[in-house]
Amino acid sequence: LRIRGIGSIESGMVRTPRINAVDMLDLDLDVPELDEQRRIADFLDDQVARIDKIIAAREQQLALTDGMRLNLARDLIAQLDTGPGPPLSAVALIVDTEHKTAPEATGGGHWSAWTGAIRRGELARPLLREIDRSTYLEWTRRTVPVPGDVLLTREAPVGEVALLGPDDQNVAIGQRVVLARPTRLDSEYLRLVLMSPVFDRLVADTTQGSLHPHLNMGDIARMRVPKADM
């Protein structure tokens, strides 16, 4: 039994649906009048435009909500007494990266989190640089980044932060990026501390007057982490 344009049934088995040029010539199509075609096209254009506006408004709403949450957290952390807080090195493992740029490799299946991909507390995945497995293994000899690790840029630019999540797999830290793995601290709290005025002051004091602002490992290790006994 042959069903034109759909496929065929042979010996009780259904073959993969397909259509060829001869079938296309035999297809009957109901074509509306030109005015009706234009009305349909205009209607669809209008609906697509409406959907695009809804999506844009929703994205703006989410951005505003995230900004309010972050600003509230920053304000709360800024009110904490930083005096008795421990240095970052006492509550987190701090790992530097290779001091060279990882070579890119299209189709490598692994990724380098360079400074440009670390923005406003998150990893900008579309900006990650793709590398191959051998490069990934070389760049993760000191430690393999895992969800919950916090990445910090210490140069070009200084002080951008990202918290690695469950979807951030096969990611190595790139040049001028430091990994902080909390040992006695909540990962989300550390991310907020590094995005708060507490860290801003450290950056300002350390890089004041520098033509090329940067943080060294000692500066980062000595940073006092506010206590959160709340």
Q: Which of 195, 219, 205, 211 is nearest to 69 (CA)?
A: 195
Tokens of 106: 């299209």
| Tens-digit pLDDT profile for residues 90-149 | 999 999 998 999 999 999 999 999 999 998 888 999 999 999 999 999 999 999 999 999
What is the structure's pLDDT at 152? 96
Res. 5: pLDDT tops 60: no
- What average pLDDT does the chain have? 83
DSSP state of 156: S
Instruction: List Cβ neighbours of 82 (8 Å cut-off, separation of 6 or more).
Output: 198, 224, 225, 226
What would the pLDDT profile of 178-193 be if each residue is shown by its tens digit? 999 999 889 998 998 8
d(CA 79, CA 74): 9
pLDDT at residue 68 greater than cutoff 70: no
Helices (H) and strands (E) in the chain, counts: 7, 12
